[in-house]
Structure 1
Protein backbone atom coordinates (compact mmCIF):
# COMPACT_ATOMS: atom_id res chain seq x y z
CA UNK A 1 0.00 0.00 0.00
CA UNK A 2 1.42 3.35 -1.05
CA UNK A 3 0.69 5.82 1.77
CA UNK A 4 1.37 8.76 -0.52
CA UNK A 5 -2.07 8.43 -2.16
CA UNK A 6 -4.82 6.66 -0.30
CA UNK A 7 -8.61 6.75 -0.32
CA UNK A 8 -10.88 6.54 2.70
CA UNK A 9 -13.64 4.01 1.97
CA UNK A 10 -16.58 4.03 4.39
CA UNK A 11 -19.74 1.99 4.52
CA UNK A 12 -22.93 2.21 6.53
CA UNK A 13 -26.08 0.13 6.16
CA UNK A 14 -29.48 0.24 7.83
CA UNK A 15 -32.94 -1.29 7.66
CA UNK A 16 -36.24 0.61 7.33
CA UNK A 17 -34.71 3.81 5.91
CA UNK A 18 -31.45 5.61 6.58
CA UNK A 19 -29.95 6.21 10.01
CA UNK A 20 -31.03 9.86 9.89
CA UNK A 21 -34.64 8.81 9.33
CA UNK A 22 -34.68 6.38 12.22
CA UNK A 23 -33.58 3.23 10.42
CA UNK A 24 -32.12 0.31 12.37
CA UNK A 25 -28.33 0.21 12.16
CA UNK A 26 -27.14 -2.96 10.40
CA UNK A 27 -23.45 -2.51 9.72
CA UNK A 28 -20.60 -0.09 9.21
CA UNK A 29 -16.98 -0.32 8.10
CA UNK A 30 -13.80 1.59 7.31
CA UNK A 31 -10.83 0.95 5.00
CA UNK A 32 -7.93 2.88 3.54
CA UNK A 33 -7.25 1.85 -0.04
CA UNK A 34 -5.01 2.61 -2.99
CA UNK A 35 -6.77 3.60 -6.20
CA UNK A 36 -5.94 0.25 -7.79
CA UNK A 37 -7.54 -1.62 -4.86
CA UNK A 38 -10.70 0.47 -4.66
CA UNK A 39 -12.86 -2.19 -6.31
CA UNK A 40 -11.64 -4.82 -3.84
CA UNK A 41 -12.17 -2.48 -0.89
CA UNK A 42 -15.69 -1.53 -1.96
CA UNK A 43 -16.61 -5.19 -2.52
CA UNK A 44 -15.22 -6.13 0.90
CA UNK A 45 -17.46 -3.59 2.63
CA UNK A 46 -20.41 -4.48 0.40
CA UNK A 47 -20.15 -8.14 1.41
CA UNK A 48 -20.01 -7.13 5.06
CA UNK A 49 -23.16 -5.05 4.70
CA UNK A 50 -25.14 -7.69 2.80
CA UNK A 51 -24.21 -10.63 5.05
CA UNK A 52 -24.73 -9.37 8.58
CA UNK A 53 -26.57 -11.17 11.37
CA UNK A 54 -28.46 -7.99 12.33
CA UNK A 55 -30.53 -8.18 9.16
CA UNK A 56 -30.76 -7.22 5.50
CA UNK A 57 -30.26 -3.51 4.75
CA UNK A 58 -32.57 -1.52 2.55
CA UNK A 59 -30.32 1.54 2.86
CA UNK A 60 -26.66 1.13 1.95
CA UNK A 61 -24.07 3.86 1.41
CA UNK A 62 -20.43 3.45 0.42
CA UNK A 63 -18.32 6.60 0.22
CA UNK A 64 -14.81 7.02 -1.19
CA UNK A 65 -12.66 10.12 -0.84
CA UNK A 66 -9.00 10.94 -1.30
CA UNK A 67 -6.96 11.30 1.90
CA UNK A 68 -5.12 14.62 1.80
CA UNK A 69 -3.83 14.80 5.39
CA UNK A 70 -0.48 13.34 6.47
CA UNK A 71 -0.87 9.72 7.57
CA UNK A 72 0.30 8.72 11.04
CA UNK A 73 1.88 5.27 11.53
CA UNK A 74 1.21 3.66 14.92
CA UNK A 75 2.17 0.33 16.49
CA UNK A 76 -0.79 -1.88 17.51
CA UNK A 77 -1.78 -2.28 21.12
CA UNK A 78 -0.67 -5.51 22.75
CA UNK A 79 -3.45 -8.10 22.97
CA UNK A 80 -4.52 -10.39 25.81
CA UNK A 81 -7.59 -12.65 25.86
CA UNK A 82 -9.45 -13.12 29.15
CA UNK A 83 -11.61 -16.26 29.26
CA UNK A 84 -14.69 -15.88 31.45
CA UNK A 85 -17.57 -18.29 32.05
CA UNK A 86 -20.46 -15.82 32.54
CA UNK A 87 -21.50 -12.35 31.44
CA UNK A 88 -21.46 -11.25 35.07
CA UNK A 89 -17.87 -12.40 35.45
CA UNK A 90 -17.01 -10.53 32.28
CA UNK A 91 -18.40 -7.23 33.55
CA UNK A 92 -16.70 -7.63 36.91
CA UNK A 93 -13.44 -7.94 34.98
CA UNK A 94 -14.36 -4.84 32.94
CA UNK A 95 -14.70 -2.83 36.14
CA UNK A 96 -11.32 -4.06 37.44
CA UNK A 97 -9.56 -3.31 34.15
CA UNK A 98 -11.06 0.16 33.85
CA UNK A 99 -9.82 0.97 37.35
CA UNK A 100 -6.33 -0.11 36.27
CA UNK A 101 -6.47 2.37 33.38
CA UNK A 102 -7.17 5.24 35.78
CA UNK A 103 -10.95 5.57 35.53
CA UNK A 104 -12.32 6.17 39.07
CA UNK A 105 -14.62 3.47 40.45
CA UNK A 106 -17.50 5.93 40.96
CA UNK A 107 -17.29 7.03 37.31
CA UNK A 108 -17.33 3.40 36.13
CA UNK A 109 -20.49 2.70 38.12
CA UNK A 110 -22.13 5.90 36.85
CA UNK A 111 -21.33 4.88 33.28
CA UNK A 112 -22.85 1.43 33.84
CA UNK A 113 -26.04 3.00 35.17
CA UNK A 114 -26.31 5.11 32.01
CA UNK A 115 -25.50 2.40 29.43
CA UNK A 116 -29.15 1.27 29.04
CA UNK A 117 -30.08 4.86 28.11
CA UNK A 118 -27.63 4.98 25.21
CA UNK A 119 -28.68 3.81 21.77
CA UNK A 120 -26.14 5.36 19.43
CA UNK A 121 -24.46 4.38 16.19
CA UNK A 122 -21.01 5.60 17.17
CA UNK A 123 -19.13 6.09 20.42
CA UNK A 124 -20.02 8.22 23.41
CA UNK A 125 -17.43 10.24 25.32
CA UNK A 126 -17.54 10.23 29.11
CA UNK A 127 -15.49 12.63 31.26
CA UNK A 128 -13.58 10.65 33.91
CA UNK A 129 -13.95 13.51 36.40
CA UNK A 130 -17.72 13.98 36.22
CA UNK A 131 -19.08 10.84 34.60
CA UNK A 132 -21.07 13.04 32.22
CA UNK A 133 -21.38 12.45 28.50
CA UNK A 134 -19.55 15.30 26.73
CA UNK A 135 -19.77 14.61 22.99
CA UNK A 136 -23.30 16.09 22.58
CA UNK A 137 -23.91 13.96 19.48
CA UNK A 138 -27.24 12.49 20.70
CA UNK A 139 -28.08 9.22 18.89
CA UNK A 140 -25.31 9.66 16.30
CA UNK A 141 -22.32 9.49 18.65
CA UNK A 142 -18.76 9.85 17.36
CA UNK A 143 -17.66 7.63 14.50
CA UNK A 144 -13.93 6.87 14.36
CA UNK A 145 -12.76 6.99 10.76
CA UNK A 146 -9.82 6.91 8.31
CA UNK A 147 -7.82 3.97 9.64
CA UNK A 148 -6.50 0.63 8.40
CA UNK A 149 -3.83 -2.07 8.72
CA UNK A 150 -2.13 -3.63 5.73
CA UNK A 151 -3.20 -7.26 5.45
CA UNK A 152 0.33 -8.59 4.98
CA UNK A 153 1.61 -6.80 8.09
CA UNK A 154 -1.44 -7.88 10.12
CA UNK A 155 -0.92 -11.52 9.16
CA UNK A 156 2.75 -11.24 10.13
CA UNK A 157 1.70 -9.85 13.51
CA UNK A 158 -0.95 -12.55 13.97
CA UNK A 159 1.55 -15.31 13.17
CA UNK A 160 4.10 -13.88 15.61
CA UNK A 161 1.48 -13.68 18.38
CA UNK A 162 -0.06 -17.08 17.57
CA UNK A 163 -3.39 -15.32 17.00
CA UNK A 164 -5.79 -16.70 14.35
CA UNK A 165 -6.24 -14.43 11.34
CA UNK A 166 -9.52 -12.82 12.32
CA UNK A 167 -10.92 -9.85 10.36
CA UNK A 168 -13.20 -8.91 13.27
CA UNK A 169 -10.24 -8.74 15.67
CA UNK A 170 -8.27 -6.77 13.09
CA UNK A 171 -11.03 -4.20 12.69
CA UNK A 172 -11.54 -3.75 16.43
CA UNK A 173 -7.82 -3.56 17.20
CA UNK A 174 -7.29 -0.91 14.52
CA UNK A 175 -10.00 1.26 16.05
CA UNK A 176 -8.82 0.74 19.65
CA UNK A 177 -5.23 1.50 18.66
CA UNK A 178 -6.23 4.78 17.02
CA UNK A 179 -8.46 5.84 19.90
CA UNK A 180 -5.94 5.00 22.62
CA UNK A 181 -3.11 6.70 20.73
CA UNK A 182 -4.56 10.09 21.68
CA UNK A 183 -3.36 11.56 24.98
CA UNK A 184 -6.90 12.49 26.09
CA UNK A 185 -8.18 8.90 25.89
CA UNK A 186 -7.94 7.10 29.23
CA UNK A 187 -9.76 3.92 28.18
CA UNK A 188 -12.23 2.39 25.74
CA UNK A 189 -15.00 -0.07 26.59
CA UNK A 190 -16.73 -1.91 23.76
CA UNK A 191 -18.94 -4.83 22.92
CA UNK A 192 -20.62 -5.45 19.58
CA UNK A 193 -24.28 -5.00 18.63
CA UNK A 194 -23.94 -8.20 16.55
CA UNK A 195 -26.31 -10.76 18.17
CA UNK A 196 -23.93 -13.60 17.28
CA UNK A 197 -20.81 -12.05 18.81
CA UNK A 198 -20.52 -11.79 22.60
CA UNK A 199 -16.81 -10.93 23.04
CA UNK A 200 -15.90 -7.37 23.99
CA UNK A 201 -12.86 -5.50 25.25
CA UNK A 202 -11.32 -2.84 27.42
CA UNK A 203 -8.37 -0.98 25.87
CA UNK A 204 -5.90 1.68 26.97
CA UNK A 205 -2.27 2.66 26.56
CA UNK A 206 -1.20 1.04 29.83
CA UNK A 207 -3.11 -2.28 29.71
CA UNK A 208 -3.28 -2.79 25.95
CA UNK A 209 -6.23 -4.47 24.24
CA UNK A 210 -7.91 -6.78 26.75
CA UNK A 211 -10.42 -9.12 25.08
CA UNK A 212 -13.16 -10.53 27.34
CA UNK A 213 -14.95 -13.56 25.96
CA UNK A 214 -18.44 -12.83 27.34
CA UNK A 215 -19.92 -9.36 27.77
CA UNK A 216 -23.48 -10.12 26.67
CA UNK A 217 -25.77 -13.07 25.89
CA UNK A 218 -26.25 -14.51 22.39
CA UNK A 219 -29.16 -12.91 20.59
CA UNK A 220 -28.70 -9.55 22.29
CA UNK A 221 -28.48 -6.74 19.70
CA UNK A 222 -27.43 -4.06 22.19
CA UNK A 223 -23.86 -2.85 21.78
CA UNK A 224 -21.71 -0.37 23.68
CA UNK A 225 -18.77 1.86 22.81
CA UNK A 226 -17.56 4.32 25.44
CA UNK A 227 -14.41 6.43 25.36
CA UNK A 228 -13.43 7.54 28.86
CA UNK A 229 -11.63 10.84 28.40
CA UNK A 230 -9.70 13.23 30.61
CA UNK A 231 -11.05 16.77 30.85
CA UNK A 232 -10.75 18.12 27.34
CA UNK A 233 -9.61 21.68 26.76
CA UNK A 234 -10.65 21.41 23.12
CA UNK A 235 -13.33 18.80 22.49
CA UNK A 236 -13.55 19.79 18.83
CA UNK A 237 -9.86 18.96 18.27
CA UNK A 238 -10.25 15.55 19.92
CA UNK A 239 -13.30 14.60 17.86
CA UNK A 240 -11.57 15.88 14.73
CA UNK A 241 -8.67 13.50 15.48
CA UNK A 242 -11.06 10.55 15.84
CA UNK A 243 -12.95 11.36 12.66
CA UNK A 244 -10.35 12.92 10.39
CA UNK A 245 -6.75 11.94 11.30
CA UNK A 246 -5.61 9.14 8.94
CA UNK A 247 -3.97 6.28 10.82
CA UNK A 248 -2.15 3.21 9.53
CA UNK A 249 -1.44 0.53 12.11
CA UNK A 250 1.90 -1.14 11.44
CA UNK A 251 3.52 -3.77 13.61
CA UNK A 252 7.26 -3.43 14.16
CA UNK A 253 8.65 -6.18 16.36
CA UNK A 254 11.43 -4.00 17.76
CA UNK A 255 8.84 -1.56 19.15
CA UNK A 256 6.52 -4.21 20.58
CA UNK A 257 5.94 -4.42 24.32
CA UNK A 258 4.05 -7.11 26.20
CA UNK A 259 1.41 -6.48 28.85
CA UNK A 260 1.02 -9.07 31.59
Structure 2
Protein backbone atom coordinates (compact mmCIF):
# COMPACT_ATOMS: atom_id res chain seq x y z
CA UNK A 1 0.00 0.00 0.00
CA UNK A 2 1.05 3.60 -0.66
CA UNK A 3 -0.21 7.01 0.34
CA UNK A 4 -0.76 9.70 -2.26
CA UNK A 5 0.20 12.99 -0.59
CA UNK A 6 -0.75 16.11 -2.51
CA UNK A 7 -0.27 19.77 -1.67
CA UNK A 8 -1.92 22.80 -3.25
CA UNK A 9 -1.22 26.32 -2.03
CA UNK A 10 -2.74 29.64 -3.02
CA UNK A 11 -2.73 33.29 -2.02
CA UNK A 12 -6.02 35.09 -1.47
CA UNK A 13 -8.03 32.00 -0.56
CA UNK A 14 -8.89 28.68 -2.11
CA UNK A 15 -8.10 28.17 -5.82
CA UNK A 16 -11.80 27.46 -6.39
CA UNK A 17 -12.68 30.86 -4.92
CA UNK A 18 -10.21 32.73 -7.12
CA UNK A 19 -7.02 32.40 -5.08
CA UNK A 20 -3.74 32.87 -6.96
CA UNK A 21 -1.80 29.63 -7.37
CA UNK A 22 1.45 29.61 -5.37
CA UNK A 23 2.70 26.05 -5.20
CA UNK A 24 1.84 22.39 -5.65
CA UNK A 25 3.59 19.07 -5.17
CA UNK A 26 2.85 15.35 -5.53
CA UNK A 27 4.37 12.29 -3.86
CA UNK A 28 3.46 8.61 -3.61
CA UNK A 29 5.05 7.12 -0.50
CA UNK A 30 4.92 4.17 1.93
CA UNK A 31 2.64 4.67 4.97
CA UNK A 32 5.53 5.41 7.34
CA UNK A 33 6.61 8.47 5.34
CA UNK A 34 3.25 10.18 4.85
CA UNK A 35 3.09 12.27 8.05
CA UNK A 36 6.59 13.72 7.76
CA UNK A 37 6.10 14.43 4.07
CA UNK A 38 2.87 16.35 4.74
CA UNK A 39 4.80 18.61 7.11
CA UNK A 40 7.58 19.14 4.55
CA UNK A 41 5.08 20.15 1.90
CA UNK A 42 3.44 22.70 4.22
CA UNK A 43 6.87 24.24 4.88
CA UNK A 44 7.51 24.35 1.15
CA UNK A 45 4.22 26.17 0.52
CA UNK A 46 5.02 28.76 3.18
CA UNK A 47 8.44 29.55 1.73
CA UNK A 48 7.81 29.64 -2.01
CA UNK A 49 9.39 32.38 -4.14
CA UNK A 50 6.03 33.18 -5.77
CA UNK A 51 4.77 34.52 -2.45
CA UNK A 52 3.50 33.39 0.95
CA UNK A 53 0.48 31.14 0.72
CA UNK A 54 -2.52 31.83 2.94
CA UNK A 55 -4.46 28.76 1.77
CA UNK A 56 -2.80 25.33 1.90
CA UNK A 57 -4.60 22.10 1.16
CA UNK A 58 -3.00 18.73 1.98
CA UNK A 59 -4.73 15.60 0.67
CA UNK A 60 -3.67 12.13 1.80
CA UNK A 61 -5.24 9.04 0.22
CA UNK A 62 -4.40 5.35 0.26
CA UNK A 63 -3.37 3.70 -3.02
CA UNK A 64 -3.36 -0.07 -3.46
CA UNK A 65 0.00 -1.40 -4.62
CA UNK A 66 -1.63 -3.39 -7.42
CA UNK A 67 -3.15 -0.19 -8.84
CA UNK A 68 0.27 1.39 -9.47
CA UNK A 69 1.75 1.38 -12.98
CA UNK A 70 5.40 1.84 -13.85
CA UNK A 71 6.67 4.37 -16.42
CA UNK A 72 10.27 4.86 -17.58
CA UNK A 73 11.95 8.18 -16.82
CA UNK A 74 13.08 9.64 -20.16
CA UNK A 75 16.78 10.11 -20.80
CA UNK A 76 17.95 13.66 -20.07
CA UNK A 77 19.76 15.96 -22.46
CA UNK A 78 20.63 19.59 -21.66
CA UNK A 79 20.81 22.07 -24.55
CA UNK A 80 22.89 25.20 -23.96
CA UNK A 81 21.13 28.26 -25.38
CA UNK A 82 22.20 31.89 -25.14
CA UNK A 83 18.85 33.43 -24.28
CA UNK A 84 15.09 32.93 -24.19
CA UNK A 85 14.62 33.54 -27.92
CA UNK A 86 17.19 30.87 -28.81
CA UNK A 87 15.73 28.51 -26.24
CA UNK A 88 12.23 28.78 -27.65
CA UNK A 89 13.45 28.23 -31.21
CA UNK A 90 15.30 25.10 -30.07
CA UNK A 91 12.26 23.89 -28.10
CA UNK A 92 10.04 24.32 -31.16
CA UNK A 93 12.47 22.23 -33.20
CA UNK A 94 12.43 19.50 -30.55
CA UNK A 95 8.62 19.46 -30.48
CA UNK A 96 8.54 19.01 -34.25
CA UNK A 97 11.13 16.23 -33.99
CA UNK A 98 8.85 14.49 -31.47
CA UNK A 99 5.92 14.53 -33.91
CA UNK A 100 4.13 17.82 -33.19
CA UNK A 101 3.26 19.89 -36.25
CA UNK A 102 4.99 23.25 -36.63
CA UNK A 103 1.67 25.05 -36.34
CA UNK A 104 0.72 23.18 -33.16
CA UNK A 105 4.16 23.72 -31.62
CA UNK A 106 3.89 27.45 -32.29
CA UNK A 107 0.37 27.51 -30.87
CA UNK A 108 1.52 25.81 -27.67
CA UNK A 109 4.50 28.10 -27.26
CA UNK A 110 2.31 31.13 -27.87
CA UNK A 111 -0.32 29.94 -25.39
CA UNK A 112 2.25 29.61 -22.60
CA UNK A 113 3.91 32.92 -23.45
CA UNK A 114 0.52 34.69 -23.33
CA UNK A 115 -0.57 33.41 -19.89
CA UNK A 116 -1.38 36.32 -17.55
CA UNK A 117 -0.56 34.10 -14.57
CA UNK A 118 0.38 30.49 -13.98
CA UNK A 119 -2.24 27.79 -14.46
CA UNK A 120 -2.81 25.14 -11.80
CA UNK A 121 -2.65 22.45 -14.46
CA UNK A 122 -1.76 21.93 -18.10
CA UNK A 123 -3.43 22.64 -21.41
CA UNK A 124 -4.01 19.74 -23.79
CA UNK A 125 -3.59 20.73 -27.44
CA UNK A 126 -4.00 18.71 -30.60
CA UNK A 127 -0.53 17.82 -31.89
CA UNK A 128 -1.68 18.41 -35.47
CA UNK A 129 -3.94 21.48 -35.37
CA UNK A 130 -2.88 23.15 -32.12
CA UNK A 131 -6.50 23.50 -31.00
CA UNK A 132 -7.21 23.12 -27.29
CA UNK A 133 -8.87 19.84 -26.35
CA UNK A 134 -9.39 19.80 -22.57
CA UNK A 135 -11.91 22.63 -22.15
CA UNK A 136 -10.80 23.35 -18.56
CA UNK A 137 -9.94 27.02 -18.95
CA UNK A 138 -7.52 28.48 -16.43
CA UNK A 139 -7.60 25.33 -14.30
CA UNK A 140 -6.22 22.99 -16.94
CA UNK A 141 -5.49 19.32 -16.20
CA UNK A 142 -3.52 18.57 -13.04
CA UNK A 143 -1.22 15.54 -13.21
CA UNK A 144 -1.50 13.65 -9.94
CA UNK A 145 -0.59 10.49 -7.99
CA UNK A 146 3.04 9.94 -9.00
CA UNK A 147 6.55 9.61 -7.62
CA UNK A 148 9.95 8.08 -8.35
CA UNK A 149 10.12 4.33 -7.78
CA UNK A 150 13.56 4.83 -6.20
CA UNK A 151 14.03 8.40 -5.05
CA UNK A 152 17.61 8.06 -3.77
CA UNK A 153 18.74 6.37 -7.02
CA UNK A 154 17.15 9.14 -9.09
CA UNK A 155 18.78 11.81 -6.94
CA UNK A 156 22.17 10.11 -7.29
CA UNK A 157 21.79 9.87 -11.07
CA UNK A 158 20.86 13.54 -11.27
CA UNK A 159 23.75 14.52 -9.03
CA UNK A 160 26.16 12.81 -11.41
CA UNK A 161 24.74 15.02 -14.16
CA UNK A 162 24.87 18.21 -12.08
CA UNK A 163 21.06 18.38 -11.94
CA UNK A 164 20.28 17.47 -8.34
CA UNK A 165 17.46 19.92 -7.61
CA UNK A 166 13.73 19.63 -6.91
CA UNK A 167 12.78 21.30 -10.20
CA UNK A 168 14.42 18.63 -12.35
CA UNK A 169 13.50 15.70 -10.11
CA UNK A 170 9.81 16.56 -10.00
CA UNK A 171 9.66 17.49 -13.67
CA UNK A 172 11.22 14.17 -14.68
CA UNK A 173 8.72 12.17 -12.64
CA UNK A 174 5.83 14.12 -14.13
CA UNK A 175 7.28 13.85 -17.63
CA UNK A 176 7.60 10.08 -17.23
CA UNK A 177 3.94 9.75 -16.33
CA UNK A 178 2.78 12.10 -19.07
CA UNK A 179 4.86 10.51 -21.84
CA UNK A 180 3.34 7.11 -21.00
CA UNK A 181 -0.18 8.52 -21.27
CA UNK A 182 -2.57 7.27 -23.96
CA UNK A 183 -2.24 9.45 -27.04
CA UNK A 184 0.46 11.81 -25.74
CA UNK A 185 2.91 13.05 -28.38
CA UNK A 186 5.01 15.53 -26.36
CA UNK A 187 5.08 18.00 -23.49
CA UNK A 188 6.33 21.59 -23.29
CA UNK A 189 6.97 23.23 -19.92
CA UNK A 190 8.67 26.08 -18.16
CA UNK A 191 8.53 26.80 -14.44
CA UNK A 192 6.56 29.45 -12.58
CA UNK A 193 9.46 29.89 -10.14
CA UNK A 194 10.73 33.46 -10.77
CA UNK A 195 14.34 32.38 -10.16
CA UNK A 196 14.28 29.35 -12.48
CA UNK A 197 14.51 30.06 -16.20
CA UNK A 198 14.93 26.52 -17.56
CA UNK A 199 12.23 24.54 -19.30
CA UNK A 200 11.93 21.36 -21.30
CA UNK A 201 10.35 19.34 -24.05
CA UNK A 202 9.62 15.72 -23.15
CA UNK A 203 8.42 12.84 -25.27
CA UNK A 204 9.18 9.17 -25.81
CA UNK A 205 12.37 10.42 -27.50
CA UNK A 206 13.63 11.80 -24.18
CA UNK A 207 13.67 14.83 -21.90
CA UNK A 208 15.35 17.80 -23.60
CA UNK A 209 16.17 20.58 -21.14
CA UNK A 210 16.82 24.18 -22.24
CA UNK A 211 18.63 26.60 -19.93
CA UNK A 212 16.42 29.58 -20.89
CA UNK A 213 12.75 29.34 -21.83
CA UNK A 214 11.60 32.40 -19.87
CA UNK A 215 13.14 35.56 -18.46
CA UNK A 216 14.63 35.62 -14.96
CA UNK A 217 12.16 37.10 -12.49
CA UNK A 218 9.06 36.08 -14.44
CA UNK A 219 6.54 34.38 -12.08
CA UNK A 220 4.46 32.83 -14.86
CA UNK A 221 4.93 29.30 -16.12
CA UNK A 222 2.88 26.42 -17.40
CA UNK A 223 2.61 23.18 -19.34
CA UNK A 224 1.19 22.05 -22.64
CA UNK A 225 0.51 18.40 -23.45
CA UNK A 226 0.25 17.67 -27.17
CA UNK A 227 -2.12 14.81 -27.95
CA UNK A 228 -2.40 12.84 -31.17
CA UNK A 229 -5.41 13.55 -33.41
CA UNK A 230 -8.31 11.31 -32.46
CA UNK A 231 -7.00 10.82 -28.93
CA UNK A 232 -9.61 9.85 -26.33
CA UNK A 233 -9.27 13.04 -24.31
CA UNK A 234 -11.50 11.85 -21.46
CA UNK A 235 -9.39 8.70 -21.05
CA UNK A 236 -6.18 10.76 -21.13
CA UNK A 237 -7.45 13.20 -18.51
CA UNK A 238 -8.55 10.31 -16.28
CA UNK A 239 -5.08 8.75 -16.58
CA UNK A 240 -3.27 12.03 -15.86
CA UNK A 241 -5.38 12.95 -12.85
CA UNK A 242 -6.11 9.56 -11.25
CA UNK A 243 -3.76 6.76 -12.35
CA UNK A 244 -1.01 6.11 -9.76
CA UNK A 245 2.41 5.88 -11.44
CA UNK A 246 5.93 5.20 -10.20
CA UNK A 247 8.68 6.44 -12.51
CA UNK A 248 11.63 4.09 -12.99
CA UNK A 249 15.24 4.52 -14.07
CA UNK A 250 15.29 1.23 -15.99
CA UNK A 251 16.12 2.76 -19.38
CA UNK A 252 18.82 5.21 -18.23
CA UNK A 253 22.38 4.73 -19.38
CA UNK A 254 25.24 5.70 -17.07
TM-score by length of 2: 0.93
- Give the whole-Å Cα distance in 2 for the aligned partners of 1:34 and 1:123: 28
Off by >6 Å, runs of 4+ in structure 1: none
- Give the whole-Å Cα distance in 1 for the aligned partners of 2:151 and 2:129: 40
What does 1:1-260 align with in structure 2 at a 5 Å threshold?
A: 5-68=1-64, 70-115=67-112, 116-117=114-115, 119=117, 120-149=119-148, 150-158=150-158, 161-206=160-205, 208-252=206-250, 255-256=251-252
User: Residues 35 and 102 of structure 1: is their aligned pair in 2 closer, same or farther, counting only changes over 3 Å?
Assistant: same
**Secondary structure, aligned partner of 2:97:** helix
**1:183 CA displacement:** 4.0
Aligned positions, number: 250
- Give the whole-Å Cα distance in 2 for the aligned partners of 1:23 and 1:81: 35
**Secondary structure, aligned partner of 1:168:** helix
- Give the whole-Å Cα distance in 2 for the aligned partners of 1:162 and 1:193: 23
The answer as to whether partners of 2:146 and 2:246 remain within 8 angstroms in 1 is yes
User: Residues 129 and 47 of structure 1: is their aligned pair in 2 closer, same or farther, counting only changes over 3 Å?
Assistant: same
**Secondary structure, aligned partner of 1:47:** helix
User: Residues 96 and 67 of structure 1: is their aligned pair in 2 closer, same or farther, counting only changes over 3 Å?
Assistant: same
**Secondary structure, aligned partner of 2:130:** coil
**1:113 CA displacement:** 3.6
**CA-atom RMSD in angstroms:** 1.7
Structure 1: give runs of 5+ residues left out of the alignment.
none
- Give the whole-Å Cα distance in 1 for the aligned partners of 2:116 and 2:187: 16
User: Residues 58 and 233 of structure 1: is their aligned pair in 2 closer, same or farther, counting only changes over 3 Å?
Assistant: same
The answer as to whether partners of 2:191 and 2:221 remain within 8 angstroms in 1 is yes
The answer as to whether partners of 2:50 and 2:193 remain within 8 angstroms in 1 is yes
**1:232 CA displacement:** 3.7
TM-score by length of 1: 0.90
Structure 2: give runs of 5+ residues left out of the alignment.
none
**Secondary structure, aligned partner of 2:45:** helix
The answer as to whether partners of 2:155 and 2:169 remain within 8 angstroms in 1 is no
- Give the whole-Å Cα distance in 1 for the aligned partners of 2:155 and 2:216: 29
User: Residues 42 and 219 of structure 1: is their aligned pair in 2 closer, same or farther, counting only changes over 3 Å?
Assistant: same
